[in-house]
């Protein structure tokens, strides 16, 4: 028997350079150190049941990342949150944890993700670039891949880009489909192309992941932060 849970956490500062696979390893170790036993998959090569809703690019911060995991026993939420919050590595902070009734993993239910991108200085042509981007019907970039290059219409996934009210940056929502999605770096590439100058990025942050809800959500226990 297994009991499924979902944690939400942030990944900022130096932790943004931890790769996707290493992030999974950090989370597995953190759950194990709580004293609650992770459930494993069945088959010839059992693996811990723990996964992320969506990989986060190396160097990109995440303010509200989602991790699904399963335990072999039911865990009191207060105890689980306290122990889990203290076992995450520096730069990874627990935001909430709670049980989930969804039979489908979060990775299969991602509808959209939101980003905030800050630049090192005010790009002179950013306003014009944002206007041209939003008015364009199609904007294509060449995505280079080991299996072969691919043309990607970024507007299909990011229809609108907004200037931040404060600070030198932009924000946008990016849809996720069965065909894939765009990348924040591709949006920056297009804005630089439309503005006639390269954009010097200071920080990229994924601010939210929106999931399709299949079951009535269960209440999560919010975690106030790492103990001092």
Whether 205 maps to a domain, the answer reads yes
For the residues 67-76, what does the mean pLDDT come to?
95
- Is the pLDDT score of 145 beyond 90? no
Q: Are residue 102 and residue 125 in the same domain, yes or no?
A: no
What's the pLDDT score for residue 226? 66
Whether 228 maps to a domain, the answer reads no
What's the pLDDT score for residue 96? 96
Identify the band that residue 147 occupies on the pLDDT scale cut at 50, 70 and 90.
Answer: confident
For the residues 59-79, what does the mean pLDDT come to?
96
Q: Are residue 93 and residue 153 in the same domain, yes or no?
A: no
Identify the band that residue 124 occupies on the pLDDT scale cut at 50, 70 and 90.
Answer: confident
Q: Are residue 102 and residue 80 in the same domain, yes or no?
A: yes
Q: Are residue 88 and residue 46 in the same domain, yes or no?
A: yes
Lowest pLDDT segment from 46-50, 174-178, 214-218 = 214-218
Whether 188 maps to a domain, the answer reads yes
Q: Are residue 10 and residue 100 in the same domain, yes or no?
A: yes
Q: Are residue 126 and residue 151 in the same domain, yes or no?
A: yes
Owning domain of residue 55: 3-108+214-222
- Is the pLDDT score of 223 beyond 70? yes
Which single residue is written with the structure tokens 């880009």?
161
Q: Are residue 87 and residue 73 in the same domain, yes or no?
A: yes
Q: Are residue 127 and residue 142 in the same domain, yes or no?
A: yes
Q: Are residue 147 and residue 169 in the same domain, yes or no?
A: yes
Q: Are residue 22 and residue 71 in the same domain, yes or no?
A: yes
Q: Write the DSSP assignment of the chain as a string of letters.
A: --EEEEEEEEE-GGGGGS-HHHHHHHHHHHHHHTTPPBPB--SSS--B-EEESS---TT-EEEEEEEEEEESS---HHHHHHHHHHHSPTTEEEEEEEE---SS-GGGSEEEEEEEEEESS--TTHHHHHHHHHH-S--EEEEP-TT--EEEEGGGT---EEE-SSSSEEEEEEE-BTTB---HHHHHHHHHHHHTS---EEEEEEEEEEE---SPPPPPEE------
- Is the pLDDT score of 216 beyond 60? no
pLDDT per residue over 4-53, tens digit each?
999 999 999 999 999 999 999 999 999 999 999 999 998 889 999 999 99
Structure tokens at 138: 């199609």
Answer yes or no: pTM beyond 0.95: no
Q: Are residue 52 and residue 100 in the same domain, yes or no?
A: yes
Name the domain count of the chain. 2
For residue 124, give Cα distances in angstroms to 111, 136, 171, 194.
Answer: 34, 20, 18, 12
What's the pLDDT score for residue 219? 67
For a pLDDT cut of 90, what percent of the chain falls above it?
A: 75
Write the CATH number for 151. 3.30.70
Lowest pLDDT segment from 122-131, 167-176, 199-208 = 122-131
Q: Are residue 133 and residue 103 in the same domain, yes or no?
A: no
Whether 78 maps to a domain, the answer reads yes
Whether 227 maps to a domain, the answer reads no
Write the CATH number for 47. 3.30.70.580
């Amino acid at each position: 028997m297994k009991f499924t849970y979902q944690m939400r956490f942030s990944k900022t500062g130096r932790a943004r350079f931890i790769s996707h696979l290493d992030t999974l390893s950090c989370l597995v170790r953190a759950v194990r150190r709580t004293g609650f036993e992770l459930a494993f998959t069945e088959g010839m090569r059992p693996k811990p049941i723990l996964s992320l809703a969506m990989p986060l690019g190396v160097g990109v911060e995440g303010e509200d990342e989602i991790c699904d995991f399963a335990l072999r026993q039911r865990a009191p939420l207060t105890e689980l949150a306290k122990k889990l919050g203290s076992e995450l590595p520096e730069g990874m902070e627990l935001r909430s944890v709670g049980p989930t009734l969804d039979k489908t993993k979060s990775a299969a239910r991602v509808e959209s993700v939101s980003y905030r991108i800050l630049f090192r200085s005010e790009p002179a042509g950013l306003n014009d670039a944002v206007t041209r981007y939003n008015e364009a019907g199609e904007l294509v970039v060449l995505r280079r891949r080991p299996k072969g290059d691919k043309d990607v219409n970024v507007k299909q996934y990011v229809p609108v880009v907004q200037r931040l009210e404060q600070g030198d940056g932009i924000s946008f929502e990016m849809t996720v489909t069965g065909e894939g999605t765009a990348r924040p770096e591709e949006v920056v590439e297009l804005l630089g192309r439309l503005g006639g100058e390269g954009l010097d990025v200071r920080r990229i942050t994924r601010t939210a992941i929106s999931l399709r809800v299949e079951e009535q959500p269960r209440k999560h226990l919010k975690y106030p932060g790492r103990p001092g």
